[in-house]
Amino acid sequence: MAQQASGTVAVIRLCNPPVNALSLTVLQALEDGLRRAEADPSVKAAVICGENGQFSAGADIREFSSPRRQGLALGPVVSLIESSRKPVVAAIEGFALGGGLEVALGCHYRIAHVKARMGLPEVTIGLLPAAEGTQRLPRLIGVPAALEMITTGRHIPAAEALKLGLIDEAVEENTVEAAIDLAKKVIGQPLGPRRLSQKPVPKLPNMEAFLSDALVKLKKQARGCLAPELCFQAVRACTQQPFAAGVRRERELFGVLLGSGQAQALQYLFFAERAMHRWATATGASWQRAAPQPVRTAAVIGLGTMGRGIVTSLVKARIPVVALEQDGECLSAGRRAVMALLEREAAKTEQGAPALDFRGPGRLRFAVDLAALADVDVVIEAVFEDMQLKKEIFRKLSKVCKPGALLCTNTSALSIDEIASATSRPQQVLGTHFFSPAHVMRLVEIIYGWHTAPSAIATAVQLAKTLHKVGVVVGNCFGFVGNRMMFPYLQQAVFLLEEGSRAEAVDQVLEDFGFKIGPFRMSDLAGLDVGWRSRKGQGLTGASLPAGTPPRQRQGRRYSPLPDLLCEQGRFGQKAGRGWYLYERAGGRVARPDPWLHSFLCHYRDAHGIRPRAIGPEEILERCLLALINEGFAILAEGIAAGPEHLDVIYTNGYGWPRHRGGPMFYASTLGLPHVLAQLQKYSEAHPDSPELRPSAWLQRLVAMGSPPLQEWMSCLGQHGSKL
């Protein structure tokens, strides 16, 4: 904290790099500064600003787990600012988030730089604004706008803040100087009307109806996450009670959230996502020894669904792109699709932000000749999942691309080492597994091969960050991390169907748990034919099976041919209008249970001598989730990922795992490893032909070691890995 005087104005500077988080130490210094300014007769006004062009990102999240935090020190400091007898002006540069914005709301005036962003994102870390923000913001900008900001946590740009009346002025430069000028101008003016706690909440003609509608919408979106609803309750309190009572309600609700496991899970994810750039590989390479290469230009090969999304992501990140297709016809179709996507994205540009310029010279070029890629820094190949085709492309790329170019393949399962073997520079080859739609989904699995250079990995991690994505570095194995863990989950879902469940019952249980869609709806959305093609390629189904293979076994383990049988009937999912469900038409979205499936399953069970049984929600949930988690333990033991938080970031960003449950490995740690082990043992004994339910050796070892906390799993692996 730095304090200086500018004539009659005291300037109080929040200083706690990198984001000026309001730790208890910073708060104490802020309080001291305010008291000094108040006591000093030569000071007539004060300005609060942040060091290094950042106002403040709010309370120090790391301190929430400390017992010292119980005192909720920030609210009283905000009250102190507001009750000052001298005008206090907030000079907002960079971010004013959470407690940072609440400090600004305590000030009598707010000036922001045009590029500043403001928000109350506490909901995203399982909390609510607890420094009186839920009571002050609605008084300033009205209940609907405040409710939207508080329940979504959205960061708004200065232009929007000005329109809402959240700030008094937006300036293009010298924010602190402008704030000092304003402070001087308002010296002596009455402060009562500027104190938000004393303002009435702006009335709506239909406040109750508005609030009940809002609550219905919120509950639907929250899917079991507590924080949005408690944020709502805190805002509603301001419409029903005076300021002081509203503040008491806010604190009470904050206490509920703070003690809930959900806040812990969401804060764990906050830090886990930020730790993803600190990757390490099983071969010993790590971020500490690798510098990224600059990416000034990029190319994408293949303009199918994935390629279009990747091109759009690159253009949005303002990286010039060459988009390549195999012939003129595919190129024009691809060009039309990419341009339409970019038009839609450009229309979403927020007020005050620079326009998305994709038509300017050199921004986006379309080509059919590989020679157009000679100078690019990165190539991302996004053609079909066909090993021979990919190898052919990589063979050609090593001839045309400049020596330092990074060569990436967008694949969801194929071996990076095999693809890299087609090039003369395997050290520059890696996998970038984007998720569909690639311009929306945040996750990219970055897969290194045996020969991939650390600098190539660092470049891909940096590129993911530039694209505003979370890049998670993982090793090379079939399905990598995400899909490899998904296979046993989907398998269990189908086995449950064979044993007597209904698709909609299984989906419901997993949706109640918090998944956006259950496994059968998800398979229909992704297309059942995708897995079918892959299984045929692996010789698991079709004519290539050895004679005499039992219909429900493959390679000595349980196998359900149900998904294959559906595909043989053309039931490919949503695109065909039928799959596990029936849709209103091909490409339809509304899933209805299909009586056909019910009778098909009855015949199938009869034919295979299966006596259907009633299966409860607990068994459905446990078998699906524990099979997935069990694979996670195997992945960690093999060194395919650097730690459990990598798996959790993958699942919460790419597979719809509910964030408030922290990811599968975090969830396992909250269930307790002995419980996870015991349940797996139970199910494995009941289904000995399902190896995915057999507890992983690593899980057993962790339990034998006394179930250390998640943060210590990998160091335990370091000690015992060789014995597994």
Residue numbers of the site for ligand 3H9 (CB under 6 A)?
A: 18-19, 21, 57-62, 72, 74, 95, 97-99, 102, 121-122, 125, 127, 129-131, 133, 271, 274
Nearer Cβ to ligand 3H9 (98/138): 98
Nearer Cβ to ligand 3H9 (258/406): 258
Nearer Cβ to ligand 3H9 (274/516): 274
Burial of 270 (0-12, 13-18, 19+ CB in 10 A): middle
- What b-and-e string marks burial along 157-194, b requiring 16 or more CB atoms within 10 Å of the CB? bbbbbbbbebbbebbeeebbebbbbbbbebeeeebeeb
Identify the residue whose tokens are 């309001």. Answer: 22
User: Distances in Å between the alpha carbon of 218 and those of 148, 152, 211, 223, 485?
Assistant: 10, 10, 10, 9, 31
Instruction: Return the closest-CA partner of residue 435 out of 629, 171, 651.
Output: 651
User: In sequence order, what are the residues at sequence separation of 6 or more whose Cβ sits closer than 8 angstroms to the Cβ of residue 322?
Assistant: 297, 298, 299, 300, 365, 366, 367, 372, 373, 376
Q: Which residue has the CB atom at the shortest distance from ligand 3H9?
A: 98
Minimal distance, residue 642 CB to ligand 3H9, in Å: 15
Decide: 430 and 408 in contact? Cβ < 8 Å: yes
User: Distances in Å between the alpha carbon of 307 and those of 311, 396, 432?
Assistant: 6, 19, 12
Residues 659, 137: Cα–Cα separation, whole Å: 27
Minimal distance, residue 136 CB to ligand 3H9, in Å: 11
Residue 11 φ then ψ, to 5°: -110, 115
Nearer Cβ to ligand 3H9 (134/483): 134
Minimal distance, residue 473 CB to ligand 3H9, in Å: 16
Instruction: Return the closest-CA partner of residue 271 out of 377, 131, 126.
Output: 126
Burial of 364 (0-12, 13-18, 19+ CB in 10 A): buried
160 in catalytic set: no
Nearer Cβ to ligand 3H9 (233/326): 233
Q: Which amino acid is at 614?
A: A
Nearer Cβ to ligand 3H9 (268/515): 268
Instruction: Return the closest-CA partner of residue 445 out of 650, 679, 171.
Output: 650
Instruction: Return the closest-CA partner of residue 676 out of 693, 689, 690, 662.
Output: 693
Decide: 423 and 430 in contact? Cβ < 8 Å: no
Nearer Cβ to ligand 3H9 (529/645): 645
Minimal distance, residue 121 CB to ligand 3H9, in Å: 4
- What b-and-e string marks burial along 321-339, b requiring 16 or more CB atoms within 10 Å of the CB? bbbbbbeeeebeebbebbb
Nearer Cβ to ligand 3H9 (271/450): 271
Residues 408, 396: Cα–Cα separation, whole Å: 14
H/E stretch holding 28: helix 24-39
Q: Point out the catalytic residue in the list 82, 102, 250, 645.
A: 102
Nearer Cβ to ligand 3H9 (132/507): 132
Minimal distance, residue 87 CB to ligand 3H9, in Å: 24
Nearer Cβ to ligand 3H9 (446/447): 446
Decide: 509 and 519 in contact? Cβ < 8 Å: no
Q: In terms of C-beta distances under 8 Å and separation of at least 24 residues, what long-range contacts does 329-334 make, across chains too? A: 330/303, 331/303, 331/366, 331/367, 331/368, 333/303, 334/303, 334/304, 334/307, 334/308, 334/366
Minimal distance, residue 120 CB to ligand 3H9, in Å: 7
Minimal distance, residue 61 CB to ligand 3H9, in Å: 4
Give the DSSP letter string of 419-476.
HHTTSS-GGGEEEEEE-SSTTT--EEEEEE-TT--HHHHHHHHHHHHHTT-EEEEE--
685 in catalytic set: no
Minimal distance, residue 460 CB to ligand 3H9, in Å: 18
Q: Output DSSP code: residue 275.
A: G
Identify the residue whose tokens are 């095999």. Answer: 418
Minimal distance, residue 257 CB to ligand 3H9, in Å: 10
Identify the residue whose tokens are 């509608």. Answer: 213
Residues 168, 172: Cα–Cα separation, whole Å: 14
Nearer Cβ to ligand 3H9 (26/301): 26
Rounded (5°) CA angle 183-187-193: 90
Minimal distance, residue 104 CB to ligand 3H9, in Å: 12
Burial of 477 (0-12, 13-18, 19+ CB in 10 A): middle
Nearer Cβ to ligand 3H9 (97/161): 97
Residues 21, 179: Cα–Cα separation, whole Å: 21
Minimal distance, residue 252 CB to ligand 3H9, in Å: 13
Nearer Cβ to ligand 3H9 (228/479): 228
Minimal distance, residue 17 CB to ligand 3H9, in Å: 9
Residues 279, 418: Cα–Cα separation, whole Å: 23
Q: Point out the catalytic residue in the list 82, 93, 122, 250.
A: 122
Query: Token pair of 402, please?
Result: 């400049």
Q: Report helix angle 697-704 to 673-686, nearest 10.
A: 140
Residues with catalytic annotation?
Answer: 102, 122
